Amino acid sequence: MTLPAQGKFAFANQLRGLAVLLVVIAHYSGTYWGARELVSMFIFAPPAEGPASIVGQYIMPPTVNYGAFGVAIFFLISGFVIPFSLEKLGARRFLVARLLRIYPTYWVASAAVLFVVWLSSKYWGQAFHIETGRLIANMLLVHIETGQMTTDLVNWTLAIEVKFYLVAMLLWPLIRRRPVLVIIGFALLMLVYFRCVPKAWNVVPMGTLQVALTSTNTQLLFLPFLFIGTLFHLELTKKISPKVLAGSAIVVLLIFLAMWKRTPWYAQAASSAMNYSYALALFSLCYVLRSRFRANRVLDFFADVSYPLYIVHSLIGYTAIRFLMANGMSFVPAALLAFSAAVAVAYLIHRTVELPTAALGKRLGRRHIASILPAATEDVKVGA
């Protein structure tokens, strides 16, 4: 989502640009080397050869995971801006506008990713195969619920965003009346649910559909964290005081961290939870200093293309790096060229798909009552 380059929303826009760059760095310098077998399976190429690049050791401080850090920033921004659309559009128009934001861009970006992966399979002489059920589930962002493997390694966050849209839409009438009570109550309800669900429950049949409960629970973990961004929105619009914002945000964060320990992710990446705290600290600092933010060409550009770039950067980047290094190029120039290619694809999708569907969403809003905020917020664009 992009926000005005200057004014009270510039901080969120530029944080979005920073977030997508952090995720790219984490995936290219970390995941590409640290998960070679996984990457090779998704790009239909032999695993990367040789020792891992030492670049990641120099640019990633201890205890900092740029991927988790960047995703956490995305989530806080979504929680912060979604209420603007809810107020402006109402529930039905909001849902239609959100679906227009997420799905058309995701489908086209996924097509570009799969085309590049198909080219990789041809180059390396491997059979390209993605089952129809898996493809459909991913395109609808219900792959986690149906137990299907992802097709791009990054769409798990989009599935969480869609769930947050639905929950925020349902809770918004209550949040407007009792904001802190409802948000903390929802977080506590999630915590109780996590503590009460038997660990033996993995797949739950619902008619002909088999719901992967453990994986779905992992998605639900993040919903309270997104609502921390909503608390900042409530302070901005004078629904709560700064002291209430600080106290309630800390409470919800602690509940979120307690929930994290109840998921499989804790054993795999316990330190990642720390990066959500880092992200909240950075977001809070930028929010306090929001009046000092001015236009920044680099961060504003990456904010504009952040959604399609987030989708295409991983597999297109991995494919390009693998190909270039196999043909004699060292890692750093290969990664830079791969990043440039991903940015070019993302910009093309942004111009041809994302902007037109965003304009369609805006037309829905113009037929509704004016927003509770000044017209400067008309340009708010909400995305992943």
Q: What is the pLDDT of residues 159-180, one digit of tens each?
A: 999 999 999 999 999 999 999 9
Whether 66 is covered by a domain: the verdict is: yes
Do the Cβ atoms of 310 and 30 come closer than 8 Å?
no
Q: Specify burial of residue 279 (Cβ count, 10 A radius: 0-12, 13-18, 19+).
A: buried
Domain extent for 343: 10-379
Rounded Cα–Cα distance for residues 134 and 147 (Å): 9
Question: What is the phi/psi pair of residue 295, to 5°?
Answer: -60, 140
Whether 2 is covered by a domain: the verdict is: no
Whether 334 is covered by a domain: the verdict is: yes
Report DSSP letters for 27-72, one per residue: IIIIIHHHTHHHHHHHHTSPPP-SSPPSHHHHHS-TT--HHHHHHH
Question: What is the phi/psi pair of residue 234, to 5°?
Answer: -65, -35
Rounded Cα–Cα distance for residues 369 and 70 (Å): 34
What pLDDT does residue 55 have?
Answer: 81
Whether 1 is covered by a domain: the verdict is: no
Whether 287 is covered by a domain: the verdict is: yes
Do the Cβ atoms of 21 and 27 come closer than 8 Å?
no
Q: What is the pLDDT along the chain (384 residues), one digit of tens a residue?
A: 445 445 568 999 999 999 999 999 999 999 999 999 999 999 999 999 988 888 877 787 888 899 999 999 999 999 999 999 999 888 889 999 999 999 999 999 999 999 999 999 999 999 999 999 999 999 999 998 888 899 999 999 999 999 999 999 999 999 999 999 999 999 999 999 888 866 555 555 545 555 555 667 778 889 999 999 999 999 999 999 999 999 999 999 999 999 888 776 666 666 778 899 999 999 999 999 999 999 999 999 999 999 999 999 999 999 999 999 999 999 999 999 999 999 999 999 999 999 999 888 777 666 544 444 443 333 333 334
Do the Cβ atoms of 244 and 234 come closer than 8 Å?
no
Structure-token match 């293309």, residue found: 305
Whether 34 is covered by a domain: the verdict is: yes
What pLDDT does residue 215 have?
Answer: 66
Structure-token match 């559009």, residue found: 89
Whether 167 is covered by a domain: the verdict is: yes
Q: Specify burial of residue 75 (Cβ count, 10 A radius: 0-12, 13-18, 19+).
A: buried
The tokens describing 122, both together, are 């041809």
Total number of domains constituting the chain: 1
Rounded Cα–Cα distance for residues 313 and 306 (Å): 10
Long-range pairs of 325-332 with CB within 8 A, sequence gap ≥ 24: 325/48, 331/53, 331/55, 332/53, 332/55
Structure-token match 């219900």, residue found: 142
The pLDDT tens digits for 193-224 are 888 866 555 555 545 555 555 667 778 889 99
Q: How long a stretch of residues is the chain?
A: 384
Whether 384 is covered by a domain: the verdict is: no
Please, what's the b/e burial string for 219-229 (b: 16 or more CB within 10 A of its CB; e: otherwise)? bbbbbbbbbbb
DSSP 374: -
What pLDDT does residue 219 have?
Answer: 85
